[in-house]
Chains A and B, each alone.
Chain A
Amino acid sequence: MPLSRTDSGQAPGAEAPESIGTVDQAREHLGDSDSNARRRAARAFVDFGGDPAVLCRRLEDEDNLAVIELAMTALVDAATGSDGDSAARRDTVEALISLMRSKNASVRVQTVSALQQVPDETAAFVPALMSDPDPNVRILTANLLQDFAHPDTHAWLRALLRTDTHVNVCMAAVEALAETGTPDMVEDLDRLVDRFPDQPFVAAAVAQVRRLIEGRSEPDGS
C-alpha cells in the first residue's frame, strides 16, 4: 500500500533552514531574498530581543504579506509577553505606531490589526494619535477604534465626531460607530451633519448609522 510514513525529525525534501542563533544573524536575514528566511528572521529577531524599531523600519520596504503578517504577530507577542519589561512593551507599541505613517498600505492595515490586539498597551498613545496633524493618521486611528477593547473607545470616537475638522476622519469615526454606537451618540451624529452642511454624503451616512443605532436600541432589535 503506497500510504507511507516518515518518522524522522525532518520531513523529506525539506530544506533545513539556516539556523539563526543571534540577534545580529536575525537582523542580517531580515534582508534575505527568500521570503521564508525573512519570516524566520522576523520571528527570531523579536525572540532574541531585537530592537522593534529596527524591524518596523525593515517592514517599510517589505512587499511579502506573509512576512508582514508574521512580523506583526511577533511584535504583538513582544508587546504582550511576560518576558519583556513594561518599557520594552511600550517601545514595541511605539514602534508599531510609527508604522501608521508607512507608505506601504499592507503594513498600515496590518499595523491597525496588531494594535487592536494590544489595547491596554496602545491606549496611552490614542489621544496623541487623535490630534496628529496628518489626517491619514487620524483616519487610521478611527479605524483602530472600530475594534478596540478599551473603556474609553466610545468617548474617543465621539470626540473625533465633535472636534475633528477633516470630514474623512469624521466619516471614519461614523463608520466605527456603526457597529457599536448607542442612542446617546445620536446628538453628536446630528451635530456632525450641521458641521458639514455642504457634504451630502455625511447626512446620508449619519442617517444610515442612526437607523442601525436606533434599531439596536429596540428591545428585540439585533
Chain B
Amino acid sequence: MDHDARPTADIHLSDVDFERFQEFFYRKTGIQFGENKRYFVDRRVAQRMHETGSTTFRSYLTFVKFEVGQHEFQRLVDIMTVNETYFYREAFQFDCMVQDVLGECLVNRRGHGPLRIWSMPCSTGEEIYSIALYLLERWPKLREIDVELVGADINETALLQARRGLYGPRAVQNLPASILNRYFTPKDGETLEIKQDIRDAVDFVLCNICDKFIPPTLSNFDIVFCRNMLIYFDTLSQKRAVENIFSALRPGGFLFLGHSESMSRVSSVFTVRTFADSLAYQRPLS
C-alpha cells in the first residue's frame, strides 16, 4: 500500500480499473455493479483509496486482496452495500406471516422447539425488528410459543447499527404512535432507540449468502424473509443464494421474496403458496 494519500476528488478510476473492480467484487460477493452504478462505485472506491492512502487503484486492489485479516475488504463491502430501509416496509407480508404462515409452521414443525425466523439481508435491523413488533402486537400465540429471530447481512457496519437499534424519523415513519410509545425510547434529537429487550431477542450474524457454506446457526428456519436482494444478483449468484436458503429452511418452511421478485427463473424446488395478503414460497414437506 502507498501512503501518500491523494484527496478523494483527485482519484479517478479508469474504465479498466472499473472492470477489474466489477470482476473482483462479483467474485467475492456475488453482487454485480453495472455501468449505471459507475458513479456510485467510483466515489466509494475513491473514498476507500483515500482513507487507506492508496495512490493507484492497482495498489489498493492488491492491499484489499492480500491484507491479513481482510479488514479493508470488509470495509469495502460495507460501503458498497448500504441500503436504506424502514420499519413495516411491505407490511402485507408481515400480515400474511401472522395470519396464515405461522399457523402452518406450528402444524408442520416437528418437536416442540421454538419457531425460527430469519431476515436476510437485515441491513440495519428495520425488517427483523418489524417482525418482532408484528409478533408482539398481532400474534397472540407468542404467549405460548417461543420464537427465535435472526438477522444476517454481509455488511458488518450495518449489523453494528442493527445491534444498537437507533433510528431516525424516516425509518419509523410508518409506525403508529402507539407502537413508538410502547417499544421505543427517545434519544438525542429525533433519534429513537428500540427497547433493550427487543434488541436482546435478535441474534445478528455476518453472512455472505452466496458463499458455498453459511454459518451453521443459519439453519432450521420456519420462515425466511429475503426481500429485494436477489434482484442485485446474476443468475449463478441467485441460484447459490436460493440453495443456501432452501438448506436453511425446515421442510415445510416458508420464504418471502420482495413483491417485485420471482423465483420462477431461479429455482423450481419451492411450492408457490398464495395467501390472502401475499404469496410465499414453501420448501416441500418431504
- Which of A's residues lie within 8 Å of B, judged by CB? 1-14, 36, 39, 43, 47, 65-66, 69-70, 72-73, 76-77, 80, 82, 106, 116-117
Q: Which residues of A contact B144 (CB under 8 A)?
A: 2
Contact status B219-A11, CB under 8 Å: yes
Size class of the B contact interface (CB-based, 8 Å)? 35 or more
Q: Which residues of A contact B221 (CB under 8 A)?
A: 11
- The CA of A97 and the CA of B141, in the complex, are separated in Å by 52
Return the contact of B216 from the options A14, A36, A77 (Cβ within 8 A): A14
Known: A36-B247, A117-B236. A11 touches B116 (CB 8 A): yes
B235 interface hit (Cβ, 8 Å): yes
Q: Which residues of A contact B243 (CB under 8 A)?
A: 39, 66, 69-70, 73
> Could you say which of B45-53, B74-82, B198-206, B223-231 contacts chain A?
B198-206
> Could you say which of B92-100, B145-153, B164-172 contacts chain A?
B145-153
Return the contact of A4 from the options B148, B215, B236, B246 (Cβ within 8 A): B148
- The CA of A12 and the CA of B114, in the complex, are separated in Å by 8
Contact status B217-A11, CB under 8 Å: yes
Known A-B contacts: A2-B146, A69-B239, A76-B239. Give 16 more (CB < 8 A). A1-B136, A2-B142, A3-B132, A3-B136, A3-B142, A3-B147, A4-B147, A4-B148, A5-B148, A5-B203, A7-B217, A13-B220, A66-B243, A73-B240, A82-B27, A117-B235
**A67, closest chain B residue (CB):** B269
- Which of B's residues lie within 8 Å of A, judged by CB? 27, 110-111, 113-114, 116, 132, 135-136, 142-150, 197-198, 200-203, 212, 215-221, 235-236, 239-240, 243, 246-247, 267-269
**A6, closest chain B residue (CB):** B148
- The CA of A72 and the CA of B247, in the complex, are separated in Å by 16
Return the contact of A9 from the options B148, B215, B247 (Cβ within 8 A): B215
Q: Which residues of B contact A7 (CB under 8 A)?
A: 203, 217
Q: Which residues of A contact B143 (CB under 8 A)?
A: 2
